Structure 1
Amino acid sequence: MMTLMGPIQAPLFPIRVFKISLFYSVFFYLFFLIFNTSFTIMGVDVGDFLKQYLGAFFGVYLSTTLKVFSVSLFLNSSLFSMVYLVFYFLKKPETKWYLLALIVFGIECLALCQSMVKFPQIYGEFFFFRYPSFAPFLYFLTDFISPIVPSVCLLVLLFVLLGTLLRQVYFHKNKESFFVILHVLLLVFFHIHGLYVIGILYLALILWQGKKYQNIHIKTYGILILFILFLYLLPNLWILISSFRYSGTEGKPPIFILSADSLRYDKIGTQINGKSITPNIDLFKEDSFVFHDHHTTIPRTFPSWADTLTGKYAMEHKVRDMFPSPDEKQRIGSASFPTLQQILKKLNYDHFAIGSFAADIFPRANFGFDEVYAPNFNARIMTVQRTAETQILLLPFLVGSWFSGGMYLKELDGLSTWGDGERLLGRFRSLVNERKQSPYSITYFSSVIHFPYTPAYPYYKQFTNPNYYGKYKYLKFVDPTDANLPNSEEILQIRSLFDSAVFAFDQEFGEMVGFLKEKGIYDDAIIILTADHGEALYEDVHGQGHGEHLRGESVTHVPLMIKFPKFYQNQTKEKDFYGITSSIDLVPTLLDYFEIPLQKEYPGKSLLAVLGEKDWKENRFVYAETGIWFSDVGNHFFQKQRIPYPNILTLHQVVPEEDYQIMITDPIYRETIAFSKHRSIQNSDFKLIYIPTREGVKFELYDRKKDPLNKNNLYPNHPMASKMKETLYQTVMRWESASLAGEYLIPSSLSDINEN
């Protein structure tokens, strides 16, 4: 006799299916943990480094393992649940366990193939360091398979599931069918928002309640389904409702600092096969003031941004490398070194930072942002990443390449191999939709151009050689212990990857500018395009990377374009400025624009004074210094010139009191690093480099225009040599309070500084 429950009375998620998913999850988790775990990062063995903190960090490691396994268990249980529902409604509830497991495995393999085509860089270590014999399979996928193909296969499976469920609802409008619709909607909702803990609790509740779902009134199911659908719409509704709280204020335009790590000035407008690799930036130039000779003060991300946003030199605020000590990083945002964001807060501006892995510097110091949508960086997060990366069947879900998702482990935002800008653009659009033309700023920082140069599909194919099959096919592996120079074919491939990454960022930039135009914000906004530093790409003897030396133009020369509101922009016709400028000019320029009196002396200059001009009236000099040397091996010229200190793995310390941040805390090492820095002073025509060595201080002087690669040292015989040397010493002694010992500059230490 048929009842209101339909012809089948079995639970919709029986304990048998959960046991299958549990055994499946445990098996594959342990399998990949055993056979895919590595203490190598980009070819560098960090085993000894991990041992330094593994004892004190063991509890964190266990919680990390539990966290990653919990995500795997929820995802696998969800897939088994939905696959089982198809067989359940086909009246085959006793389907063999291996058939269910085979189907789920097939779904995950399709998702993996789709993810490998879209983000092959994420799987680079697996295919090139751990199991290189499998690399031809990755080549085959990326050469011949579009990510659309596995996506279509997955969509077909999804339609089979939905079709089966809709058929059940159509023929059996009962509690059972409505419960299944609610069940699937909940699982998908948990997946989209990464709510794996709530998802596991929900599945446990189903197992505990058994058939009790049949006791809920059918109208209640209808209300619950409508409520869940409302939850799907809630984020967009919230943004719409929230936007009514904000309105534009005259004289306080929104500010957008749109930047990319490692973007070189000379790449703007570069032609390949007759087409520019930056078409969107080229269009933006027409609306902007362009500063053609703009330089960063230090070619490392953390100190560069600290300089840019405080308007002060790293040698003064003391954040001079990527791993500042607690005392050093606390100076950023202090009364002595307020950031641009903190100063504009007095004008009721709200501030937001958006970025991928290189933007991990923003949560690590008080830059003055109200919200930071960027990853953090510490040993705990690095452990989560390394654990998650072993689970290659799980990775497609963690990076959101399979039907949304991507929010399970926020630590994955910090993967250096995940160069997808779409997730950042989504956050950008949401903020703009909410804030519109109210007083706010967004600092957008893309990492796609930073090594290992990881643009997503199809951009990694944009300029690279399709017939190249080596370890640099998808990304530039970085191994500071390997001093060997790539061959000419590999160098060409690495440069092509870099150009492809520049093109990928240009597409991100075009999306943002286009969205601002669509929303009617573009004309009245301040939009700034810049970068934290450039990149050496094997020009002459310069090697690859940044922060190691100051030779050539590639590592400090970066773009700067500023589009002011339309009424202000149109006051002058001349938009190209060729005089030398510095990243420390941004703060005084914006303070000048908002007519905020300077409370302290800044080393930079307001650029408003030269808008409409082509050059400075005076002979201006700008300063730069190197970062920390990551490696103590190699045959590069800068390794031969430098004062040696241990490599970065030896210098690091994990500081539990600072949320397990990785820092260099030893004051002796910190003073050695500061003392050993190469420093430069340059104007529009010449560059002088100060190089302390164990044999004494060496100087190099180069003609920037005639000798941009800095091959011919003019020191000491050129007439500018003594003038520039004197200017360099005066600059350092003034802003660092450094002292002299012979020709050596002795930096002031943090303990010598009186904040009062």
Structure 2
Amino acid sequence: MRILFLDLDSTSPDHLGCYGYHRNTSPNIDKIAEEGVRFTNYYTSDAPCAPSRTALMSGKFGIVNGLVGHGGTAGDMKLEGKSRELMGKLSRGGSLPTYLGLTGDLNTVLISPFAQRHSTFHFYAGFNEILNTGRYGNESAEHVTPVALDWIERNADQDNWFLYINYWDPHTPYRAPLDFGNPFAEEPLPAWLTEDVLERHKQMVGSHCANELNIDYQNKTYDNQRPAAFPRHPGEIQNMDDMREMIDGYDCGIRYMDEHLGRLFAALEKQGVMDDVIILISADHGENMGQLGIYGEHATADQGTCRIPMIIRWPGMKMGTVDDGLHYHLDLLPTFADMLNQPVYPDWQGRSYAPALRDGTDCGRDYLVVSQCAHVVQRSVRFGDWIYIRSYHDGFHLFDEEMLYNLAEDPKEQHNVAADNRSVCMEAVYYLNQWHDDMMRQNTDAVDPLWTVMQEGGPFHARGYLKGYIKRLEETGRGHLVPELVRRHPEEFPQERNPFLNQLQAKIGARMAGR
């Protein structure tokens, strides 16, 4: 058995040809989709990068494994505690590559810098070979493909391997080499991105809104500076020319990556094994390209960020079919167990969708709950035609606490209809509570890491940024928004929020100085 898993960072299904995109961004991916099963409602349980891949590799939701953010306590998995044995669970079959190595007798190989990028070294668990492409996720495809081709040329004709490869080109900031050109320069933008939509988005605030596409890590604010090293990536979107630059930059990243995937497929053909290889094409998360007014970021628990592609070409199974059922990405682990006729690891929380691969049987879930705690703090429920989003920390976007979108009528999440659909919101809250109760029953320490993030000062990519951002808002004529931001986020002003404690501290200081 030979398995190739292509993890295409930040790749949104909305921008792939096989998912209906009008631009030819993905001819090589599209060909694989024609030969396999394409899943249309496939979601990461936890966004963005580190939470998603940790949930995938461990088979457990972030609320249980503990890693839901990019910093603080929630930037690490929970310890196993007193029940930990000489070898932890990730080494005894609990991680995807460990399981495949033990039950399938596969040589497990990783080509990725991801563990180093986020210090998520549990990501390595179970891989026999680890090839770090060495640029902390700032790679372009030309840095990844030679490493992958070298391995394929030396090993592809062997039996029993699992090769996991990360590509990064669709991840912001957009980095396709300039000499690649722009194959979409004469093609129309997505029809829904009109001047009226842009004008509405320009009234919004927060990281990666139309006015501030850059995060200034040094000065702790969001601004409109164009990254000097990434000329394809604009700093702001103020007109339709800027909009074209933004969309074209993302689409060029996907197309450039797709051409390199074609080189991998050609190499497998040359080795004579292409027809036998099980190919999975997916992503850690999608990319908001206007959804919720956010561009070039994966910062929310919404349709744009959490819906991901999944294409599985499994020789001997269904070909050229589409599955519309609701699935989590962590459902992949029990699916592998089912397909390999092996027992499921007991800690996994997914559900097999192998029937969709074998005979096209609908085996989707009734609803999904997806989470984001790195840029905002949100949990959302995906069911029927709806996505319900509950915000605990808005990441300075001034989101409503409750948001509801009818994805059949409003797939780009532009019109919050929560106020007009209270019964639907109540149904969503019921699902959310049901899911939360079930997760907490499985949570050995009875701690929900979402609330740990809140107690430690909010999501990592918003922590400490508000003061600098307020200054920018005042300088750019949006000072009227500041009072509401301050009201919502007193945790950003610990000295100012309690005058009594400030006075008491001053008195104590005076007395100490008088001694």
**Fold equivalence (TM over 0.5):** yes
Deviation at 1:692, TM superposition (A): 2.5
Q: Which residue, out of 312, 320, 332, partners 1:562?
A: 312
Deviation at 1:697, TM superposition (A): 9.7
Question: What does 1:398-413 correspond to in 2, within 5 Å?
Answer: 413=135
Deviation at 1:272, TM superposition (A): 12
Q: Give SS of 1:611's match.
A: helix
Given that residues 578 and 615 in structure 1 are in contact (C-alpha distance below 8 angstroms), is that contact kept between their aligned partners in structure 2?
A: no
- Structure 1: distance between partners of 2:419 and 2:114: 40
Q: Which residue of 1 aligns with 2:168?
A: 447
Given that residues 460 and 497 in structure 1 are in contact (C-alpha distance below 8 angstroms), is that contact kept between their aligned partners in structure 2?
A: no
Q: Which residue of 1 aligns with 2:288?
A: 536
- Structure 2: distance between partners of 1:343 and 1:506: 29
Deviation at 1:555, TM superposition (A): 1.1
Alignment deviations for residues 3-40 of structure 1 (CA, whole Å, 9 cap, x no partner): xxxxxxxxxxxxxxxxxxxxxxxxxxxxxxxxxxxxxx
The question of 1:428 aligning with 2:186 is answered no
- Structure 2: distance between partners of 1:691 and 1:624: 12
Counterpart AA for 2:242 = E
The question of 1:335 aligning with 2:89 is answered yes
Q: Which residue of 2 aligns with 1:355?
A: 112
Q: Which residue of 1 aligns with 2:370?
A: 624
- Structure 1: distance between partners of 2:423 and 2:361: 22
Deviation at 1:517, TM superposition (A): 1.7
Q: Give SS of 1:578's match.
A: strand
- Structure 2: distance between partners of 1:254 and 1:364: 25
Q: Give SS of 1:322's match.
A: coil
Given that residues 257 and 443 in structure 1 are in contact (C-alpha distance below 8 angstroms), is that contact kept between their aligned partners in structure 2?
A: yes
- Structure 2: distance between partners of 1:305 and 1:720: 31
Counterpart AA for 2:129 = E
Q: Give SS of 2:222's match.
A: coil
Q: Give SS of 1:448's match.
A: coil
The question of 1:289 aligning with 2:40 is answered no
- Structure 1: distance between partners of 2:380 and 2:250: 26
Distance 1:721 1:748, change over 3 A: closer
- Structure 2: distance between partners of 1:719 and 1:617: 27
Distance 1:271 1:264, change over 3 A: closer
Question: What does 1:602-617 correspond to in 2, within 5 Å?
Answer: 602-611=348-357, 616=362
Distance 1:590 1:617, change over 3 A: closer
Given that residues 326 and 366 in structure 2 are in contact (C-alpha distance below 8 angstroms), is that contact kept between their aligned partners in structure 1?
A: yes
Counterpart AA for 2:105 = N
Q: Which residue, out of 403, 409, 434, partners 1:700?
A: 403
Distance 1:533 1:349, change over 3 A: same
- Structure 1: distance between partners of 2:28 and 2:44: 23
Give the TM-score taking structure 2 as reference length: 0.68
Structure 2: tracts of 5 or more residues without a match: 81-86, 187-212, 225-235, 454-515
The question of 1:307 aligning with 2:63 is answered no
Deviates further, 504-513 or 534-543: 534-543
- Structure 2: distance between partners of 1:442 and 1:619: 29
- Structure 1: distance between partners of 2:290 and 2:74: 35
Counterpart AA for 2:247 = R
Structure 1: tracts of 5 or more residues without a match: 1-252, 376-409, 466-475, 630-641, 643-676, 740-744, 751-756
Given that residues 356 and 424 in structure 1 are in contact (C-alpha distance below 8 angstroms), is that contact kept between their aligned partners in structure 2?
A: no
Q: Which residue of 2 aligns with 1:8?
A: none
Q: Which residue of 2 aligns with 1:527?
A: 279
Q: Which residue of 2 aligns with 1:656?
A: none
Q: Give SS of 1:576's match.
A: strand
Given that residues 74 and 449 in structure 2 are in contact (C-alpha distance below 8 angstroms), is that contact kept between their aligned partners in structure 1?
A: no
Q: Which residue, out of 714, 720, 727, partners 2:418?
A: 714
Question: What does 1:638-717 correspond to in 2, within 5 Å?
Answer: 677-692=377-392, 698-710=401-413, 711-715=415-419, 717=421
Alignment deviations for residues 244-294 of structure 1 (CA, whole Å, 9 cap, x no partner): xxxxxxxxx111111211000011118999861111111111111111111
The question of 1:280 aligning with 2:28 is answered yes
The question of 1:486 aligning with 2:237 is answered yes
Q: Which residue, out of 265, 271, 275, partners 2:13?
A: 265
Q: Which residue of 2 aligns with 1:730?
A: 434
Distance 1:602 1:325, change over 3 A: same
Given that residues 66 and 449 in structure 2 are in contact (C-alpha distance below 8 angstroms), is that contact kept between their aligned partners in structure 1?
A: no
Counterpart AA for 1:280 = N
- Structure 2: distance between partners of 1:610 and 1:273: 24
Structure ranking higher in helix proportion: 1
- Structure 1: distance between partners of 2:21 and 2:378: 38
Distance 1:496 1:414, change over 3 A: same
Deviation at 1:615, TM superposition (A): 7.0
Q: Give SS of 1:533's match.
A: coil
- Structure 2: distance between partners of 1:345 and 1:300: 27
- Structure 1: distance between partners of 2:265 and 2:26: 13
Q: Which residue of 1 aligns with 2:159?
A: 438
Deviation at 1:341, TM superposition (A): 0.6
- Structure 2: distance between partners of 1:312 and 1:367: 15
Counterpart AA for 1:557 = R
Question: What does 1:195-344 correspond to in 2, within 5 Å?
Answer: 253-269=1-17, 276-323=24-71, 328-329=76-77, 331=79, 334-335=88-89, 338-344=94-100
Aligned pairs, number: 395
Given that residues 287 and 296 in structure 2 are in contact (C-alpha distance below 8 angstroms), is that contact kept between their aligned partners in structure 1?
A: yes
Distance 1:562 1:511, change over 3 A: same
- Structure 1: distance between partners of 2:253 and 2:179: 11
- Structure 1: distance between partners of 2:39 and 2:26: 17
Larger radius of gyration between Structure 1 and Structure 2: 1
- Structure 2: distance between partners of 1:447 and 1:746: 28
- Structure 1: distance between partners of 2:411 and 2:310: 20
Given that residues 327 and 368 in structure 2 are in contact (C-alpha distance below 8 angstroms), is that contact kept between their aligned partners in structure 1?
A: yes
Let me know the Cα RMSD of the aligned residues: 3.6
Q: Which residue, out of 593, 602, 617, partners 2:339?
A: 593
- Structure 1: distance between partners of 2:111 and 2:363: 38
Given that residues 304 and 533 in structure 1 are in contact (C-alpha distance below 8 angstroms), is that contact kept between their aligned partners in structure 2?
A: yes
Q: Which residue, out of 471, 496, 502, partners 2:248?
A: 496
Structure ranking higher in strand proportion: 2
- Structure 1: distance between partners of 2:161 and 2:21: 40
- Structure 2: distance between partners of 1:294 and 1:423: 29
Distance 1:439 1:323, change over 3 A: farther
Distance 1:327 1:687, change over 3 A: closer
- Identity score, percent: 19
Q: Give SS of 2:279's match.
A: strand
Q: Which residue of 1 aligns with 2:193?
A: none
Alignment deviations for residues 406-457 of structure 1 (CA, whole Å, 9 cap, x no partner): xxxx5xx2372x52x2332222122223322321211110111111110124
Q: Which residue of 1 aligns with 2:208?
A: none
- Structure 1: distance between partners of 2:107 and 2:310: 23
Distance 1:700 1:325, change over 3 A: closer
Give the TM-score taking structure 1 as reference length: 0.48
- Structure 2: distance between partners of 1:724 and 1:309: 28
- Structure 2: distance between partners of 1:330 and 1:738: 13
Counterpart AA for 1:463 = F
Given that residues 282 and 311 in structure 2 are in contact (C-alpha distance below 8 angstroms), is that contact kept between their aligned partners in structure 1?
A: yes
- Structure 1: distance between partners of 2:167 and 2:438: 34
Q: Which runs of 4+ in 1 moved over 6 A?
A: 270-274, 612-615, 694-697
Given that residues 368 and 382 in structure 2 are in contact (C-alpha distance below 8 angstroms), is that contact kept between their aligned partners in structure 1?
A: yes
- Structure 1: distance between partners of 2:149 and 2:59: 29
- Structure 1: distance between partners of 2:244 and 2:403: 29
- Structure 2: distance between partners of 1:543 and 1:430: 36
Distance 1:328 1:289, change over 3 A: same
Q: Which residue of 1 aligns with 2:136?
A: 414
- Structure 2: distance between partners of 1:503 and 1:430: 22
Q: Give SS of 1:700's match.
A: strand
- Structure 1: distance between partners of 2:361 and 2:282: 20
Counterpart AA for 2:313 = K
Q: Give SS of 1:558's match.
A: strand
